[in-house]
Amino acid sequence: MRHQTGSSATDSSQQQEKESPETPLPEEPKPEVEAPPDPPKSRFGECLTFPSAAPPRPEKTDPLVQDLAVAAPPVSFFKDPRYRNERLILVVASEFIFLALAVIAVLFGLPRYDDSPVYYAAVPGPIATPAEPPSDTPDKIIRDAILAFKSGEKDRAGQLLARVDLAKAASPPAWELAGMLKAAAGDSAAAMEIYSRGIASNPSEGLYYRRAILHRDAGEFDLALDDMDRATARPPVHALLSNERLLLLIQMGRQDQARAELQSLNARKADSAGWIFGLCGMALDNGEYAEASRLLAAAKLSADPAVFQQILKNPALSRHQARPELMPFYFSNLSP
């Protein structure tokens, strides 16, 4: 009986537990999340920035967040050899493109800055005229004319010289150039007159020499020798003048006088450039063509090229130019 009573008591207690409601557990207070403040307003609408909002903080459980105290593993870089050829090809291609552009610019003549058009703005007021450049002086005009004549521009030399009054300039080179222009045009008489007027105005070695050449070409050897003596009267004597005078003596048949002067020059140890052509003329007059060729070869090395070509035109030398020993000098040096 007691046992049954105990079991019934146990069952009744279990039934009461089932029937009695469970007492709810107190809930833990949740942290209140502060709502971000409303974005500030502007007269043009809502701003897109939130200066008062705190930046978001990453969670520690986020795998992207690293501990800054732990040193990062070393990173090693290496060059891939597969791209070495590609880089070389790019460098060569860029250089080729640059050269191609430069060639195109040269061929098609890209406009320069100086060729670009200039635009002027019209403003009220008087028109400003540019100042005229100062006129060239007679000396400068004469120098330009001489340079033009030496360059083969005879027409331009004549145009420049026409702007100069020879009588007022009193310049022997101007008179000499004027006579040379007339002689080049084939008017020897006018050239002779100009040389004579220049000598009367202001004598010079060049004027005497030019007039002597005209006398020699005309067969007036005595007048030519007289002008040559005047041209070589005052030292130092130019190599062209001294050699032309010696060759004139040989052409006149005065070999003894020419030989005596050559011996005197050799004894005084004068510069060989001043008498080597005269010595060559003596060798040609004696039929010593090999010696004359040797002398001309030495003269070509020592004399001025302009003097060398001028003296080759002398009749005492040019009449032998058909000789095999002298033909190389004339074909390679004689100006047309």
- pLDDT > 70: percent of the chain: 64
Same domain, 315 and 224: no
Tokens representing 176 are 């000499």
Structure tokens at 183: 């002689």
- Cα–Cα distance for residue pair 206/241, rounded to 1 Å: 9
Domain annotation covers residue 166: yes
For residue 67 the two structure tokens come to: 């501990």
Please name which of 140, 203, 138, 137 lies closest in space to residue 172, comparing C-alpha atoms.
203
Same domain, 252 and 268: yes
In a domain, 34, yes or no: no
| 223 and 259 fall within a common domain | no
- The top-scoring range by mean pLDDT among 126-130, 221-225, 320-324 is 221-225
Place of tokens 């022997």: 172
Q: Token pair 């009461």 is at which residue?
A: 16
Which amino acid makes up residue 41?
Answer: K
Alpha-carbon dihedral 317, 322, 328, 334, rounded to 10 degrees: 50
Query: What is the value of pTM for the model shown?
Result: 0.58
Q: What is the pLDDT of residue 44?
A: 47
At 108, which amino acid appears? F
Last residue of a domain, one of 234, 262, 280: 234
Q: Is residue 21 one of the residues assigned to a domain? A: no
Within a domain: residue 178?
A: yes
pLDDT of residue 292: 94
Exposure class string for 149-162: b at 16+ Cβ within 10 A, else e: beeeeeeebbebbe
Query: Of 234, 266, 282, which closes a domain?
Result: 234
For residues 327 and 267, state if they share a domain: yes
Residues 246 and 185 occupy one common structural domain? no
Q: Are residues 193 and 269 in the same domain?
A: no
| Residue 148 maps to a domain | yes
Query: Is residue 85 assigned to a domain?
Result: no
Q: What is the β-pairing status of strands 45-46 and 41-42?
A: antiparallel
121 inside domain: no
The reply to whether 198 and 246 lie within a common domain is no
Residues 244 and 332 in one domain: yes
Q: Tell me: cis bond preceding 236? Omega within 30 of 0 counts.
A: yes
Instruction: Please give the radius of gyration of the chain, using alpha carbons only, rounded to the nearest integer.
Output: 55
Q: How many domains does the chain have?
A: 2
Closest CA relative to residue 216, chosen from 334, 326, 313, 330: 313
Q: In CATH, what number is assigned to the domain containing residue 163?
A: 1.25.40.10
Angle at which helices 138-150 and 154-161 cross, to 10°: 170
Q: Write the pLDDT tens digit of every residue in 257-301.
A: 999 988 888 787 778 888 899 999 999 999 999 999 999 999 988
Q: Which residue has the higher pLDDT, 172 or 272?
A: 172
Of 234, 261, 290, the residue that ends a domain is 234
Q: Specify burial of residue 145 (Cβ count, 10 A radius: 0-12, 13-18, 19+).
A: buried
Question: 222 and 202 share a domain?
Answer: yes
Categorize the per-residue pLDDT at 100 as very low, low, confident or very high, splitting at 50, 70 and 90. confident
In a domain, 253, yes or no: yes
- Between 75-89, 177-191, 209-223, 236-250, the lowest mean confidence (pLDDT) is in 75-89
Query: For position 5, what pLDDT does the model report?
Result: 46
Model pLDDT, residue 47: 46
Higher pLDDT residue, 44 or 275? 275
Contacts of 163 (CB under 8 A, 6+ apart): 136, 141
Are 247 and 334 within one domain? yes
* Separation CA 328–CA 296 (nearest Å): 11
Distance in angstroms (rounded) separating the CA atoms of residues 183 and 190:
8
Shared domain for 197 and 273, answered yes or no, is no
Q: What are phi and psi of 311, to 5 degrees?
A: -75, -25
The pLDDT score that the predictor gives to residue 266 is 79
Same domain, 257 and 191: no
Give the residue numbers spanning the domain of 310: 239-336
pLDDT at residue 62 is higher than 60: no
